[in-house]
Chain A
Amino acid sequence: MSGNDAGDGNGDGRQKPDEDLSARLKHLEKQIEEKLPAAPSRPSPGAGASNGASSLGLAMRLSTEFIAGVLAGGILGWLCDQFLGTKPWGLIVLLMLGFATGVYNVMRVSGSLSRPAAKSAADKNQDRERS
Protein backbone atom coordinates (compact mmCIF):
# COMPACT_ATOMS: atom_id res chain seq x y z
CA MET A 1 0.00 0.00 0.00
CA SER A 2 2.68 2.45 1.00
CA GLY A 3 4.43 1.86 -2.31
CA ASN A 4 1.36 3.05 -4.17
CA ASP A 5 1.06 6.13 -2.02
CA ALA A 6 4.65 7.22 -2.66
CA GLY A 7 3.82 9.60 -5.49
CA ASP A 8 1.46 9.95 -8.40
CA GLY A 9 4.04 11.67 -10.57
CA ASN A 10 6.21 8.58 -10.58
CA GLY A 11 3.15 6.38 -11.09
CA ASP A 12 3.53 5.94 -14.83
CA GLY A 13 7.20 5.25 -14.67
CA ARG A 14 6.73 2.66 -11.96
CA GLN A 15 3.69 1.10 -13.53
CA LYS A 16 5.62 -0.15 -16.54
CA PRO A 17 7.86 -2.68 -14.79
CA ASP A 18 4.86 -3.83 -12.77
CA GLU A 19 2.90 -4.46 -15.94
CA ASP A 20 5.86 -6.21 -17.44
CA LEU A 21 6.14 -8.36 -14.35
CA SER A 22 2.45 -9.24 -14.35
CA ALA A 23 2.62 -10.11 -18.03
CA ARG A 24 5.58 -12.38 -17.33
CA LEU A 25 3.78 -13.90 -14.37
CA LYS A 26 0.74 -14.55 -16.52
CA HIS A 27 2.90 -16.13 -19.18
CA LEU A 28 4.54 -18.38 -16.59
CA GLU A 29 1.16 -19.26 -15.13
CA LYS A 30 -0.10 -20.23 -18.55
CA GLN A 31 2.91 -22.42 -19.12
CA ILE A 32 2.41 -24.11 -15.77
CA GLU A 33 -1.28 -24.58 -16.45
CA GLU A 34 -0.54 -26.21 -19.75
CA LYS A 35 1.86 -28.63 -18.13
CA LEU A 36 -0.23 -29.30 -15.03
CA PRO A 37 -3.18 -31.33 -16.39
CA ALA A 38 -0.77 -33.65 -18.14
CA ALA A 39 0.35 -35.19 -14.87
CA PRO A 40 -3.01 -36.01 -13.20
CA SER A 41 -5.03 -36.43 -16.38
CA ARG A 42 -8.18 -37.54 -14.61
CA PRO A 43 -7.70 -37.95 -10.90
CA SER A 44 -10.23 -40.38 -9.52
CA PRO A 45 -12.40 -38.65 -6.92
CA GLY A 46 -10.98 -40.82 -4.16
CA ALA A 47 -7.34 -40.56 -5.14
CA GLY A 48 -6.58 -37.05 -3.95
CA ALA A 49 -8.06 -37.61 -0.52
CA SER A 50 -4.90 -37.38 1.50
CA ASN A 51 -5.66 -34.53 3.86
CA GLY A 52 -8.28 -34.66 6.59
CA ALA A 53 -10.89 -32.34 5.13
CA SER A 54 -11.29 -34.09 1.82
CA SER A 55 -11.33 -37.57 3.35
CA LEU A 56 -14.10 -36.39 5.66
CA GLY A 57 -15.85 -35.04 2.58
CA LEU A 58 -15.37 -38.44 0.96
CA ALA A 59 -16.94 -40.17 3.95
CA MET A 60 -19.96 -37.91 3.68
CA ARG A 61 -20.23 -38.62 -0.02
CA LEU A 62 -20.35 -42.39 0.38
CA SER A 63 -23.61 -42.57 2.32
CA THR A 64 -25.56 -40.23 0.08
CA GLU A 65 -24.23 -41.79 -3.12
CA PHE A 66 -25.88 -45.06 -2.12
CA ILE A 67 -29.16 -43.46 -1.07
CA ALA A 68 -29.26 -41.36 -4.22
CA GLY A 69 -28.79 -44.46 -6.38
CA VAL A 70 -31.75 -46.23 -4.80
CA LEU A 71 -33.86 -43.04 -4.91
CA ALA A 72 -33.05 -42.42 -8.57
CA GLY A 73 -33.99 -46.01 -9.42
CA GLY A 74 -37.24 -45.68 -7.51
CA ILE A 75 -38.16 -42.38 -9.15
CA LEU A 76 -37.35 -43.66 -12.65
CA GLY A 77 -39.35 -46.84 -11.99
CA TRP A 78 -42.34 -44.89 -10.71
CA LEU A 79 -42.25 -42.54 -13.71
CA CYS A 80 -41.96 -45.55 -16.02
CA ASP A 81 -45.04 -47.10 -14.41
CA GLN A 82 -46.98 -43.87 -14.63
CA PHE A 83 -46.34 -43.16 -18.28
CA LEU A 84 -45.87 -46.60 -19.82
CA GLY A 85 -48.51 -48.40 -17.78
CA THR A 86 -46.21 -51.23 -16.72
CA LYS A 87 -47.72 -51.05 -13.27
CA PRO A 88 -45.62 -53.08 -10.85
CA TRP A 89 -42.70 -54.13 -13.04
CA GLY A 90 -41.04 -50.80 -13.76
CA LEU A 91 -40.73 -50.03 -10.08
CA ILE A 92 -39.53 -53.53 -9.19
CA VAL A 93 -36.89 -53.76 -11.90
CA LEU A 94 -35.64 -50.18 -11.65
CA LEU A 95 -35.54 -50.25 -7.85
CA MET A 96 -33.27 -53.28 -8.03
CA LEU A 97 -31.23 -51.54 -10.71
CA GLY A 98 -31.11 -48.51 -8.44
CA PHE A 99 -29.76 -50.68 -5.65
CA ALA A 100 -27.06 -51.96 -7.98
CA THR A 101 -26.33 -48.37 -8.98
CA GLY A 102 -25.96 -47.37 -5.35
CA VAL A 103 -23.40 -50.11 -4.77
CA TYR A 104 -21.65 -49.19 -8.03
CA ASN A 105 -21.56 -45.51 -7.04
CA VAL A 106 -20.08 -46.30 -3.65
CA MET A 107 -17.46 -48.55 -5.21
CA ARG A 108 -16.56 -45.86 -7.71
CA VAL A 109 -16.30 -43.13 -5.10
CA SER A 110 -14.22 -45.24 -2.75
CA GLY A 111 -11.91 -45.97 -5.66
CA SER A 112 -12.12 -49.76 -5.41
CA LEU A 113 -13.50 -49.96 -8.93
CA SER A 114 -10.42 -48.77 -10.78
CA ARG A 115 -8.45 -51.95 -10.24
CA PRO A 116 -11.10 -54.46 -11.39
CA ALA A 117 -11.74 -52.33 -14.46
CA ALA A 118 -8.08 -52.33 -15.35
CA LYS A 119 -7.96 -56.05 -14.66
CA SER A 120 -10.91 -56.78 -16.91
CA ALA A 121 -9.32 -54.69 -19.63
CA ALA A 122 -6.15 -56.72 -19.21
CA ASP A 123 -8.21 -59.92 -19.39
CA LYS A 124 -9.81 -58.68 -22.58
CA ASN A 125 -6.39 -58.06 -24.08
CA GLN A 126 -5.28 -61.54 -23.09
CA ASP A 127 -8.40 -63.02 -24.66
CA ARG A 128 -7.69 -61.14 -27.83
CA GLU A 129 -4.13 -62.42 -27.88
CA ARG A 130 -5.31 -65.98 -27.32
CA SER A 131 -7.91 -66.01 -30.07
Chain B
Amino acid sequence: MAVKMDPIHQFELKPLVSFGHIGNQEIAFTQSALYMFAAVGIIALITIVATAQRSVVPGRMQSVAEMFYEFIGSTLRQSAGHGSERFMPLIFSLFMFVLVLNMFGMIPYAFAVTSHIIVTFALALLVITTVIVYGFMAHGTKFLKVFVPSGVPGWLMPMIVAIEIVSFVSRPISLAVRLFANVLAGHIALKIFAGFVPALLAAGAWGAISPLPLALSVAVTALEFLVAGLQAYVFATLASIYLSDALHPGH
Protein backbone atom coordinates (compact mmCIF):
# COMPACT_ATOMS: atom_id res chain seq x y z
CA MET B 1 0.00 0.00 0.00
CA ALA B 2 1.73 3.14 -1.20
CA VAL B 3 0.93 6.44 0.42
CA LYS B 4 0.40 9.12 -2.18
CA MET B 5 2.72 12.06 -1.71
CA ASP B 6 1.83 15.38 -3.26
CA PRO B 7 3.91 18.16 -1.72
CA ILE B 8 2.61 20.79 -4.18
CA HIS B 9 -1.04 20.29 -3.35
CA GLN B 10 -0.85 22.60 -0.32
CA PHE B 11 -0.11 25.64 -2.51
CA GLU B 12 -3.24 25.39 -4.61
CA LEU B 13 -5.53 28.40 -4.61
CA LYS B 14 -9.12 27.65 -3.75
CA PRO B 15 -11.70 30.24 -4.77
CA LEU B 16 -14.13 30.95 -1.97
CA VAL B 17 -16.35 33.56 -3.63
CA SER B 18 -16.27 33.93 -7.40
CA PHE B 19 -16.80 37.30 -9.06
CA GLY B 20 -16.99 36.00 -12.62
CA HIS B 21 -14.37 35.84 -15.35
CA ILE B 22 -12.12 38.22 -17.20
CA GLY B 23 -11.12 36.37 -20.34
CA ASN B 24 -10.28 32.86 -19.22
CA GLN B 25 -9.13 34.00 -15.79
CA GLU B 26 -11.48 33.55 -12.91
CA ILE B 27 -11.64 36.53 -10.58
CA ALA B 28 -12.33 35.18 -7.13
CA PHE B 29 -11.85 35.80 -3.45
CA THR B 30 -9.46 32.95 -2.68
CA GLN B 31 -8.32 31.51 0.60
CA SER B 32 -5.08 33.44 0.01
CA ALA B 33 -7.00 36.71 0.18
CA LEU B 34 -8.79 35.47 3.27
CA TYR B 35 -5.45 34.80 4.99
CA MET B 36 -4.25 38.26 4.03
CA PHE B 37 -7.33 39.84 5.57
CA ALA B 38 -6.84 37.71 8.67
CA ALA B 39 -3.22 38.85 8.87
CA VAL B 40 -4.25 42.50 8.66
CA GLY B 41 -6.84 41.83 11.35
CA ILE B 42 -4.27 40.27 13.68
CA ILE B 43 -1.83 43.12 13.12
CA ALA B 44 -4.56 45.67 13.78
CA LEU B 45 -5.43 43.79 16.95
CA ILE B 46 -1.81 43.83 18.15
CA THR B 47 -1.06 47.42 17.22
CA ILE B 48 -4.31 49.35 17.56
CA VAL B 49 -6.36 47.54 20.18
CA ALA B 50 -3.47 46.59 22.44
CA THR B 51 -2.06 50.11 22.52
CA ALA B 52 -5.43 51.81 22.91
CA GLN B 53 -4.91 52.17 26.66
CA ARG B 54 -1.55 53.88 26.30
CA SER B 55 -0.58 53.04 29.84
CA VAL B 56 2.85 54.18 30.96
CA VAL B 57 3.55 50.73 32.32
CA PRO B 58 2.60 48.60 29.31
CA GLY B 59 0.43 45.54 29.63
CA ARG B 60 1.28 42.27 27.98
CA MET B 61 -0.08 43.02 24.51
CA GLN B 62 1.08 46.58 24.57
CA SER B 63 4.64 45.57 25.32
CA VAL B 64 4.53 43.12 22.41
CA ALA B 65 3.44 45.92 20.10
CA GLU B 66 6.08 48.25 21.53
CA MET B 67 8.74 45.59 21.12
CA PHE B 68 7.94 45.18 17.42
CA TYR B 69 7.86 48.92 16.94
CA GLU B 70 11.21 49.52 18.65
CA PHE B 71 12.79 46.62 16.79
CA ILE B 72 11.73 47.87 13.36
CA GLY B 73 12.53 51.44 14.33
CA SER B 74 16.12 50.58 15.23
CA THR B 75 16.53 48.38 12.15
CA LEU B 76 15.32 51.17 9.92
CA ARG B 77 17.51 53.76 11.60
CA GLN B 78 20.58 51.56 11.28
CA SER B 79 20.09 50.71 7.62
CA ALA B 80 18.60 53.89 6.20
CA GLY B 81 20.15 56.49 8.48
CA HIS B 82 19.02 60.07 8.88
CA GLY B 83 15.58 61.09 7.65
CA SER B 84 14.33 57.54 7.39
CA GLU B 85 11.58 58.07 9.98
CA ARG B 86 9.07 58.95 7.28
CA PHE B 87 9.26 55.40 5.95
CA MET B 88 8.56 53.85 9.33
CA PRO B 89 4.86 53.18 8.57
CA LEU B 90 5.74 51.45 5.31
CA ILE B 91 8.52 49.29 6.70
CA PHE B 92 6.57 48.44 9.85
CA SER B 93 3.51 47.39 7.83
CA LEU B 94 5.64 45.33 5.45
CA PHE B 95 7.46 43.57 8.27
CA MET B 96 4.33 42.79 10.25
CA PHE B 97 2.44 41.65 7.15
CA VAL B 98 5.19 39.29 6.01
CA LEU B 99 5.87 38.04 9.54
CA VAL B 100 2.25 37.27 10.31
CA LEU B 101 1.69 35.62 6.92
CA ASN B 102 4.82 33.49 7.38
CA MET B 103 3.68 32.50 10.86
CA PHE B 104 0.21 31.66 9.57
CA GLY B 105 1.91 29.39 7.07
CA MET B 106 3.48 27.47 9.94
CA ILE B 107 0.12 26.50 11.42
CA PRO B 108 -0.65 22.93 10.30
CA TYR B 109 -3.15 22.78 7.40
CA ALA B 110 -2.92 26.55 6.98
CA PHE B 111 -2.04 28.15 3.68
CA ALA B 112 1.29 29.94 3.22
CA VAL B 113 0.44 33.10 1.31
CA THR B 114 4.08 34.15 0.90
CA SER B 115 4.83 30.94 -1.02
CA HIS B 116 3.26 32.56 -4.09
CA ILE B 117 5.76 34.70 -5.98
CA ILE B 118 3.07 37.08 -7.20
CA VAL B 119 2.38 38.15 -3.60
CA THR B 120 6.04 38.70 -2.71
CA PHE B 121 6.72 40.36 -6.05
CA ALA B 122 3.85 42.78 -5.50
CA LEU B 123 5.34 43.70 -2.11
CA ALA B 124 8.80 44.12 -3.67
CA LEU B 125 7.37 46.29 -6.45
CA LEU B 126 5.72 48.46 -3.81
CA VAL B 127 9.11 49.02 -2.17
CA ILE B 128 10.95 49.72 -5.43
CA THR B 129 8.19 52.06 -6.68
CA THR B 130 8.45 53.98 -3.43
CA VAL B 131 12.23 54.22 -3.88
CA ILE B 132 11.94 55.51 -7.46
CA VAL B 133 9.07 57.93 -6.83
CA TYR B 134 10.53 59.32 -3.60
CA GLY B 135 14.03 59.46 -5.08
CA PHE B 136 12.93 61.58 -8.03
CA MET B 137 10.62 63.68 -5.88
CA ALA B 138 13.27 64.51 -3.31
CA HIS B 139 16.37 64.75 -5.49
CA GLY B 140 15.14 65.23 -9.06
CA THR B 141 17.66 64.04 -11.61
CA LYS B 142 20.34 63.85 -8.90
CA PHE B 143 18.70 60.57 -7.96
CA LEU B 144 20.40 59.05 -11.02
CA LYS B 145 23.68 59.29 -9.07
CA VAL B 146 22.60 55.97 -7.58
CA PHE B 147 23.92 54.42 -10.77
CA VAL B 148 27.28 56.21 -10.62
CA PRO B 149 29.36 55.03 -7.66
CA SER B 150 32.18 57.27 -6.56
CA GLY B 151 35.82 56.27 -6.77
CA VAL B 152 35.65 54.35 -10.03
CA PRO B 153 38.30 54.97 -12.72
CA GLY B 154 36.91 56.64 -15.85
CA TRP B 155 37.51 53.84 -18.33
CA LEU B 156 35.57 51.44 -16.15
CA MET B 157 32.62 53.81 -15.73
CA PRO B 158 30.35 52.68 -18.63
CA MET B 159 30.67 49.08 -17.51
CA ILE B 160 29.95 49.90 -13.87
CA VAL B 161 26.96 52.07 -14.75
CA ALA B 162 25.50 49.25 -16.88
CA ILE B 163 26.07 46.80 -14.04
CA GLU B 164 24.51 49.20 -11.53
CA ILE B 165 21.41 49.55 -13.71
CA VAL B 166 21.01 45.78 -14.02
CA SER B 167 21.67 45.56 -10.28
CA PHE B 168 18.87 48.02 -9.62
CA VAL B 169 16.50 45.96 -11.74
CA SER B 170 17.60 42.85 -9.86
CA ARG B 171 16.58 44.31 -6.50
CA PRO B 172 12.83 43.68 -6.61
CA ILE B 173 13.53 40.28 -8.13
CA SER B 174 15.91 39.33 -5.34
CA LEU B 175 13.49 40.62 -2.69
CA ALA B 176 10.60 38.64 -4.16
CA VAL B 177 12.51 35.47 -5.02
CA ARG B 178 14.20 35.22 -1.63
CA LEU B 179 11.02 35.32 0.41
CA PHE B 180 8.97 33.13 -1.91
CA ALA B 181 11.72 30.54 -2.47
CA ASN B 182 12.48 30.16 1.23
CA VAL B 183 8.85 29.69 2.20
CA LEU B 184 8.06 27.40 -0.75
CA ALA B 185 11.14 25.23 -0.32
CA GLY B 186 10.64 25.02 3.43
CA HIS B 187 7.06 23.86 3.15
CA ILE B 188 7.85 21.32 0.43
CA ALA B 189 10.75 19.92 2.48
CA LEU B 190 8.54 19.70 5.54
CA LYS B 191 5.83 17.89 3.61
CA ILE B 192 8.25 15.42 2.05
CA PHE B 193 10.04 14.54 5.30
CA ALA B 194 6.74 14.16 7.08
CA GLY B 195 5.48 12.06 4.18
CA PHE B 196 8.34 9.60 4.67
CA VAL B 197 6.94 8.56 8.03
CA PRO B 198 3.69 6.93 6.82
CA ALA B 199 5.46 5.67 3.68
CA LEU B 200 8.04 3.81 5.80
CA LEU B 201 5.41 2.55 8.24
CA ALA B 202 3.46 1.12 5.30
CA ALA B 203 6.56 -0.66 3.96
CA GLY B 204 6.65 -3.42 6.59
CA ALA B 205 10.05 -3.92 8.21
CA TRP B 206 11.22 -0.49 7.04
CA GLY B 207 8.86 0.95 9.63
CA ALA B 208 11.64 0.43 12.16
CA ILE B 209 13.52 3.50 10.88
CA SER B 210 10.42 5.69 10.63
CA PRO B 211 11.38 7.69 13.79
CA LEU B 212 14.31 9.14 11.81
CA PRO B 213 12.26 11.22 9.35
CA LEU B 214 9.89 12.05 12.20
CA ALA B 215 12.75 13.57 14.20
CA LEU B 216 13.97 15.30 11.07
CA SER B 217 10.60 16.85 10.36
CA VAL B 218 10.48 18.16 13.93
CA ALA B 219 13.88 19.74 13.36
CA VAL B 220 12.80 21.18 10.00
CA THR B 221 9.71 22.65 11.65
CA ALA B 222 11.92 24.48 14.13
CA LEU B 223 14.11 25.67 11.28
CA GLU B 224 11.07 26.88 9.38
CA PHE B 225 9.95 28.97 12.33
CA LEU B 226 13.39 30.56 12.34
CA VAL B 227 13.23 31.14 8.58
CA ALA B 228 9.73 32.61 8.84
CA GLY B 229 10.91 35.26 11.29
CA LEU B 230 14.24 35.79 9.61
CA GLN B 231 12.81 36.31 6.14
CA ALA B 232 10.42 38.95 7.41
CA TYR B 233 13.39 40.66 9.09
CA VAL B 234 15.54 40.39 5.95
CA PHE B 235 12.70 41.76 3.83
CA ALA B 236 12.33 44.78 6.11
CA THR B 237 16.10 45.33 6.33
CA LEU B 238 16.60 45.19 2.57
CA ALA B 239 13.61 47.43 1.94
CA SER B 240 15.13 50.01 4.28
CA ILE B 241 18.57 49.64 2.64
CA TYR B 242 16.98 50.31 -0.75
CA LEU B 243 15.06 53.24 0.70
CA SER B 244 18.32 54.67 2.00
CA ASP B 245 19.41 54.95 -1.65
CA ALA B 246 16.37 57.10 -2.28
CA LEU B 247 17.20 59.22 0.78
CA HIS B 248 20.92 59.59 0.15
CA PRO B 249 21.76 58.92 -3.52
CA GLY B 250 25.31 59.07 -4.79
CA HIS B 251 27.44 57.88 -1.94
Q: Are B241 and A45 in contact (CB under 8 A)?
A: yes
By beta carbon, the residue of chain B nearest A122 is B151
Assembled-state Cα–Cα distance A36/B248 (Å): 17
- With most chain A CB atoms within 10 A of its CB, the pick from B163, B231, B238, B244 is B163
A selection of 13 A-B contacts at a CB cut-off of 8 Å is A1-B57, A3-B56, A36-B77, A42-B248, A48-B78, A57-B233, A57-B234, A60-B231, A68-B170, A94-B166, A100-B163, A105-B167, A105-B170
Given contacts A1-B57, A68-B174, A72-B166, contact A120 B151 (CB under 8 A): yes
- A84 close to B (CB within 8 Å): no
- A6 close to B (CB within 8 Å): no
Assembled-state Cα–Cα distance A43/B80 (Å): 9
Given contacts A97-B162, A117-B149, contact A75 B169 (CB under 8 A): yes
Minimal beta-carbon separation of B180 from chain A (angstroms): 10
Chain A: interface residue total (CB-CB under 8 A): 43
Contact of A45 (CB < 8 Å), options: B59, B79, B166, B233: B79
Assembled-state Cα–Cα distance A36/B166 (Å): 33
- B145 close to A (CB within 8 Å): no
Residues of B within 8 A of A (CB): 55-57, 59, 77-79, 81-82, 149-153, 162-163, 166-167, 169-171, 173-174, 177-178, 181-182, 226, 230-231, 233-234, 237-238, 241, 244, 248, 251
Contact of A121 (CB < 8 Å), options: B78, B151, B166, B182: B151
Q: Are A64 and B177 in contact (CB under 8 A)?
A: yes
Q: Are B238 and A67 in contact (CB under 8 A)?
A: no
Minimal beta-carbon separation of B84 from chain A (angstroms): 9
Residues of A within 8 A of B241 (CB): 45
Residues of A within 8 A of B234 (CB): 57, 60-61
Q: Are A41 and B163 in contact (CB under 8 A)?
A: no
Residues of A within 8 A of B (CB): 1, 3-4, 18, 33, 36-37, 40-43, 45, 48, 53-54, 56-57, 60-61, 64-65, 67-69, 71-73, 75-76, 94, 97-98, 100-102, 104-105, 117-118, 120-121, 123-124
Given contacts A43-B79, A60-B230, contact A76 B151 (CB under 8 A): no
Minimal beta-carbon separation of A8 from chain B (angstroms): 15
Contacts A45-B241, A102-B170, A120-B151 aside, 6 further interface pairs with beta carbons under 8 A come to A3-B57, A42-B244, A43-B78, A75-B173, A100-B163, A117-B149
